[in-house]
């Protein structure tokens, strides 16, 4: 399932693509516990859900945070509890019933919307969220947050948490690829021999190797 600007969101089912939400297709994910449950966003965080593989659609009202998030609004599913989802607009918001109701789990007002959000796959109490170049994390599910930004000033374009270590994080930005292995106490520029370009994503390989894939313009690197 994926979204694209001006072309809505499409889902591939048995070799056939179904366009089930219009407008600008943004972040989307298929429920890891039920392939018929799909969530997707349109521009500024309008959130939609299907429980039948994209055949029908229901809009989700998220009352916290006003009407609009970032152009691409971060939206994530909890890695341990499938009915728990998160969306970040002015703050980070959490629903434990698939979008039926929401609570606010941050108090980090920056005067603009959150750009990136990531929940640690191995521990859902560890959540990382960024506003421009400011990176925050919580280790208690949102009760307390600390700023752990690296020492550069470029906007954070992507956050990924290691599959088995919630303190190990990689960031992608126009300044390169940065990694911490101690929850943000120290950051290392691991760009090394990568081209001097903007990177829009960096993701750990989930195969026990701790390898990293980085995507930029142009190219994908490992």
Radius of gyration for the alpha carbons in the chain, expressed in angstroms and rounded: 17
- Which pLDDT does position 64 carry in this prediction? 63
- Which pLDDT does position 208 carry in this prediction? 87
For the chain, percent of residues with pLDDT exceeding 70: 96
More confident residue, 208 or 203: 203
- Which pLDDT does position 65 carry in this prediction? 59
pLDDT tens-digit profile of 13-34?
A: 788 887 878 888 788 999 999 9
- Which pLDDT does position 60 carry in this prediction? 84
Q: How far apart are the first and last CA of the chain?
A: 24
Residue 160 binned pLDDT confidence (cut-offs 50, 70, 90): very high
Mean pLDDT computed over 48-52? 91
pLDDT tens-digit profile of 82-135?
A: 999 999 999 999 999 999 999 999 999 899 999 999 999 999 999 999 999 999
Report whether 129 contacts 115 (CB < 8 A): no
pLDDT tens-digit profile of 55-66?
A: 888 888 766 656
Residue 147 binned pLDDT confidence (cut-offs 50, 70, 90): very high
The CA distances from residue 47 to 9, 43, 130, 162, 205, in Å, are 12, 9, 20, 27, 29
């Amino acid at each position: 399932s994926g979204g694209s600007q001006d072309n809505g969101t499409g889902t591939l089912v048995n070799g056939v693509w179904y366009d089930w939400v219009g407008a600008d297709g943004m972040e989307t994910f298929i429920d890891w516990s039920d392939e018929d449950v799909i969530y997707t966003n349109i521009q500024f965080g309008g959130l939609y859900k299907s429980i039948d593989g994209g055949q029908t659609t229901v809009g989700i009202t998220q009352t916290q945070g006003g009407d609009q998030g970032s152009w691409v609004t971060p939206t994530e599913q909890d890695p341990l509890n499938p009915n728990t989802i998160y969306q970040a607009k002015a703050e980070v918001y959490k629903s434990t019933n698939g979008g039926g109701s929401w609570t606010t789990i941050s108090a980090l007002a920056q005067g603009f919307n959150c750009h990136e959000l990531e929940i640690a796959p191995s521990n859902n109490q560890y959540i990382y969220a960024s506003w421009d170049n400011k990176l925050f994390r919580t280790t208690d599910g949102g009760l307390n947050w600390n700023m752990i930004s690296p020492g550069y000033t470029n906007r954070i374009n992507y956050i990924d948490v290691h599959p088995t270590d919630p303190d190990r994080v990689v960031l992608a930005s126009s300044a390169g690829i940065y990694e911490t292995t101690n929850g943000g106490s120290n950051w290392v520029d691991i760009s090394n021999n990568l081209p001097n370009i903007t990177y829009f994503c960096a993701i750990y390989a989930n195969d026990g190797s701790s390898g990293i894939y980085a995507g930029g313009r142009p190219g994908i690197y490992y």
